[in-house]
Amino acid sequence: MRLIATCPEEAKPALVAELEALGVTELAPTFRAVLFSATPRQFYELHLRLRTASRILRVLREVPAHTPAMLHSQVRRLHWPEWFDARHGFMVESTGDEGGGLTPKQVITQVREGVRESFARLGEQVPPVDTEDPKVVIVAHVARGRCMLSFDTSGKSLHKRGYREQGHPAPLKETLAAAILQFAGYDGSVAFLDPMCGSGTLAIEAAMIAVRKAPQIHRKKGEFHFEWLADFDRALWREAQDSIRAEKLDAPPCIVAASDIRAEYVEMARKSALKARVEKYIQFDVVRVQNVAPPAPTGLLATNLPYGDRIGGGEAEVRQLYEEFGDTLKQRFAGWRAAVLAANASPYKAIGLKPSRTINLMNGSIPCRLLLFDLYAGSRRSTPSAAETSPVSATDGTAVSALRPPD
C-alpha cells in the first residue's frame, strides 16, 4: 500500500532515515512529507514505531480536480462504502496550494458531498459529518489540478505520546526530540545525558530508544483511525503489537541520565517518565550544568539550550552560562559527542566550540539550529569559574530552565 508520513520540513532527513531503517520501499520525499510503500504488517507497525513523524496517511486515489464540479464528480464515482462504514462520522481536511482555482473550502465541500452522494448512489446509509470526534478523516491534497485522496490513519498527532506533564514553560515537542536524537545517531548503545533536561523530553525519548520501546505502544483501543476502516485486520494488528512488545529490553544497555538546576523541573520530568513507563531507566539529579559530570567515559550529551528573552537575568548572564557550558564540555566530556539545540537569537557562539555539523530546525515558531560536536580535550577559557563568580543562582535557575523556546 502507498502511504505518506508527514513532519516539519527541517526534520524530513531524520524521518527518511527512520523509514529506511524500518525497511519500507519506494521512498519519495516531498514538501513536509515522505511518500513510500509498505506491506500491511509494516503499515500497522509504523503507527507504533515511528518517532519523528507527525501523521501517517493512507493514499486512496488521485483524481483530476481542475474545477469544483470535476472534483465532486470524481469523488462521487468512487465506492466509498468499501472503505468505511456509514455508522462512523467523517470529516474532510484540505491541504495543498490554492493556485489551481480551488479554495480549501471548495475542496472540503466537494469531497464531503461527493462522499455522501456515493453512499446514497450505492443504496447505502449516508454517513454523518462529524468535525468534533470523527472516526474517519479524509485528507484531500490539491496541487496542479490533481487531488490526492487519503485517509488519516494515525488519528491524533503522533507527537502526542501521552506522557507530557503540564507546567514547564517551554517543553520540547516529542517528535522534535526524537529527530534530534536521530540526527545525532543515538541508538541506545552509548550513555546519554541531558544536563538541562527541563521537562525531560529528550531523556524520555532516549530511554525509549535505548530499551526499544515503541512510542505509541500504549495507545488505547480505537485511537488509531485505521481501526475504523472496513479492511481493518484485527488479527494482523494484534500480531504486530505482540511482536513489538516482545522486542523491548528489560534495561537499557547504557546509562540514561537527566539533570536540571530546578528541582521542580526534575520532579516534573520524573513524573513524565513515569507516565511513559521509562522512569526506572533514567537516572535523575538536581545539579547545575556547570557542575555536571559525565556518567560514563563516552556517550551522547543532548540538550535544549535555554536562552534569555523571557527572564530578568539578561544577556550577560545567559552568555556567561553558555561560556561555562562550553568549558564544561571541553574539560569534562572529552570523547563524548554533543547535540545542542540553540535558538538562532541566543548567544550560542559563546559556547566556544566549532560544531562538526549544523542543522537548521524549527522549535515551534522559533528558528533554531542543532549544533553537533565531536568533543576532545581542550583548555579552559579565561572566563572566571562558576565558583569564582556570583552564581547564576536564583536568577540562574530561571535562566537555565525557563528560557526554552516554546513548541
Identify the domain boundary among 152, 185, 220. 152
Which of 356, 385, 47, 84 is CA-nearest to residue 218? Answer: 47
Same domain, 194 and 254: yes
Q: For position 214, what pLDDT does the model report?
A: 98
165-196 burial string, b = 16+ CB within 10 Å, else e?
beebebbbbbbbbbbbbbbbebebebbbbbbb
Q: What is the CATH number of the domain that holds 304?
A: 3.40.50.150
Taking the C-alpha atoms of residue 9 and residue 15, their distance in angstroms, rounded to an integer, is: 10
Per the CB < 8 A criterion, the answer to whether 42 and 23 are in contact is yes
Domain match, 54 and 195 both: no
Q: Is 260 in the same domain as 387?
A: yes
Residue 226: HSE in the Cβ half-sphere, 13 Å Cα cutoff: 24
267 and 391 housed in the same domain: yes
406 domain-assigned: no
Q: Are residues 105 and 196 in the same domain?
A: no
In a domain, 218, yes or no: no
- In whole angstroms, give the CA distance from residue 158 to residue 13: 17
- DSSP secondary structure letters along 370-393: EEEEE-------SSPPTTTS--S-
Q: What is the mean pLDDT of each run of 10 residues along the chain (407 residues)?
A: 97 98 97 97 98 98 96 98 96 81 93 98 97 97 94 96 76 95 98 96 98 97 97 98 98 97 95 97 96 97 78 74 94 96 94 97 94 76 36 28 34
Tell me, yes or no, whether 50 and 180 share the same domain: no
Q: Is residue 277 domain-shared with residue 313, that is, in the same domain?
A: yes
Please check whether residue 223 lies inside any domain of the structure: no
Q: How many domains does the chain have?
A: 2
CATH number where 55 lies: 3.30.2130.30
Give strand pairing partners of 193.
Answer: 257, 301
| 90 assigned to some structural domain | yes
Same domain assignment for residues 314 and 179: yes
Per the document, the length of the chain is: 407
Q: How many angstroms separate the CA atoms of 304 and 110, rounded?
A: 44
Q: Does 116 share its domain with 35?
A: yes
**Does 313 share its domain with 246?**
yes
Q: Which domain holds residue 126?
A: 2-152
Q: Is residue 225 part of a domain?
A: no
Among residues 150, 155, 140, 157, the alpha carbon closest in space to that of 54 is found at: 157
Distance between CA atoms of residues 61 and 373, nearest Å: 45
**Cell numbers describing residue 172:** 520540547
Does residue 82 lie in a domain region? yes
Cα 96 to Cα 103: distance, rounded to the nearest angstrom: 10
b/e per residue, 216-244, with b = 16+ CB within 10 A? bbebeeeebbbbbbeeeeeeebeebbeeb
Q: How are strands ordered across the β-sheet holding 136-143?
A: 25-30, 33-37, 2-6, 55-64, 146-152, 136-143, 90-96
Nearest CA-CA partner of 89 in 225, 237, 231, 234? 225
H/E element, 141: strand 136-143
72 in Cβ contact with 113 (< 8 Å): yes
**What gap in Å lies between CA 400 and CA 395, rounded to an integer?**
9
Residues 319 and 355 in one domain: yes
In the structure grid, which three cell numbers stand for residue 309, read together?
A: 528573552
- Helix 68-77 to helix 104-121 angle (10° resolution) is 30
**DSSP state letter for 225:** G
Cell 566550540 -> residue:
353
Listed in sequence order, the residues at least 6 apart from 322 whose beta carbon sits closer than 8 Å to its beta carbon are: 305, 346, 347, 348, 350, 351
List residues bridging with 34 in a β-sheet: 5, 29
Please report whether residue 103 resides in a domain.
yes
Which pLDDT value is given to residue 61? 96
Report if residue 164 sits inside a domain.
no
My answer on whether 22 and 100 are in the same domain is yes
pLDDT at 18: 98
Helices and strands in the chain, H and E counts:
10, 14
What residue has cell string 484485527?
Answer: 234
